Amino acid sequence: MKGLIWFRNDLRLADNPALVALSRRCTHALMVYVIDPAWLKPTRHQSRHLGRFREEFLYQSLRALERELKKRKQRLVVKVGNPLEIIPALCKQHQINYVAMTDHPGVYERQQVAYLERVLPCEVSVSESFTLFLRNQLPFEQSTFPQSFTQFRKHIEQQNTLPCIPISTPDSLPAAIQERRDIWGGQEFVYDLTPYHGGEDSALVQLNQFFWKSQGLKNYKKTRNGFDGWQFSSRLSAWLANGSISARMVVAELDNYEYRHGKDESSQSMFAELLWREYFQWMMHYHGARMFAFDGIKKKRPLTSFYCEKFKAWEQGTTEYPIVNACMRQLNQTGYMSNRGRQIVASCLVNELGVDWRFGAAYFEQQLIDFDVAANYGNWQYLAGVGADPRGQRHFNLEKQAKEYDPDGSFVARWAQASPSESLLKF
């Protein structure tokens, strides 16, 4: 049988049920990734879907995946174009009998799957591995999905719902079907992503570094609200976002850590953050396009609009708020901002500047190396008061935040004079 796997947000060989299913069913297969030029075009909220940092990280991840496939006598066929045209054309050309892919909660991602299931004349298999839990473990309707994270967590605990156990890499892969690859990833990048580097191997190195070598997890409860540095958080979010590592693999490592050292505040805080990620994934799964609506899942219109000058000042880090400016300049030069920083700048855009939250969410989508559609839009709705926060709109006291989390002013001072032409890479 001839097969095709369409890699999307599952750029790894380990814990990849779609790849395992393909390997069991097929003797020959195409391994495909499609780069859609639409990702690079500005949206109506003035930002691109894919910015330069994440674009480079993606290309690094694809090259890493290609190397791993090559070791197993396979190859990654990268195509450039509309995947809903390319995948059917490849299936027809090579007489494909079986198509495998991984499910994703994103609205457009699910629409793409539904379209291919309708038009392809062959069997289409959609596996679940982007989330900790399977769909049948969380039998909600849109109307019954928990309205707050606390309710979601209590449901998980009361039902004793356990994350899926990650599965191993297939022992062997089907033989490669020959197909021309398009030119991709050949442009010069002006940014150095160090210490980030895309790919499954790099993700596993960082997992080991944070959990074991640097003892970052041991100190996570104390350090997780930091702004700068590498070890104050796990930094796994970029690899989780494009699927170079799965959340299930991280939880399995966390279980291993707790088995050896016992549960503590830091390990529990780490699991809570992964559960927050999970909550937003299922929120998008159940609420769909409402995650992008101005009035959010609450259908509550915020008292904001779009003010070009205010938005540009926020975007470029030239507002009257030093802590906000430092965070935005860090983002613009590194593709990264801490979780605390993201909450602060989002609150500023919505509350101090009165700007439509969707413009901020779209800018994050463009700039963040670790952009995840559900987590990004879920968090922005939360801060704007149109999402999952039972308390309503979150309004941070910016001066108080700066004093509490940057008491000596070192973070603000470091980024105060930063300009886009500088290369401040040790973030």
Q: Which residues are annotated as a binding site for FAD?
A: 220, 233-237, 370-372
Peptide bond into 195 cis (omega under 30): yes
Which residue has 């396009």 as its token pair?
Answer: 289
Element (H, E) at 80: strand 76-80
- Side-chain-facing half-sphere of 52: CA atoms under 13 Å: 11
375 vs 281: CA distance, rounded Å: 7
Burial class from Cβ neighbours inside 10 Å (0-12, 13-18, 19+) for residue 71 reads exposed
- Spatial distance between the Cα atoms of 405 and 216, rounded to a whole number of angstroms: 19
- The three-class DSSP label of residue 323 is helix
Distance CA 244, CA 350 (A): 33
| Pairwise CA distance, residues 344 & 388, whole Å | 18
Angle formed by the axes of helices 357-367 and 308-316, nearest 10°: 30
Instruction: Report d(CA 412, CA 425) in Å as an integer.
Output: 16
User: Any residues with CB less than 8 A from the CB of 155 and at least 6 apart, and which?
Assistant: 146, 161
Nearest partner of 174 among 22, 52, 56, 70, judged by Cα: 22
Pairing of strands 76-80, 28-35: parallel
Which residues participate in the annotated binding site? 220, 233-237, 370-372
CA 371 to chain centre: 4
Sequence-distant (≥ 6) Cβ neighbours of residue 407 within 8 angstroms:
none
- For residue 366 the two structure tokens come to 């463009």
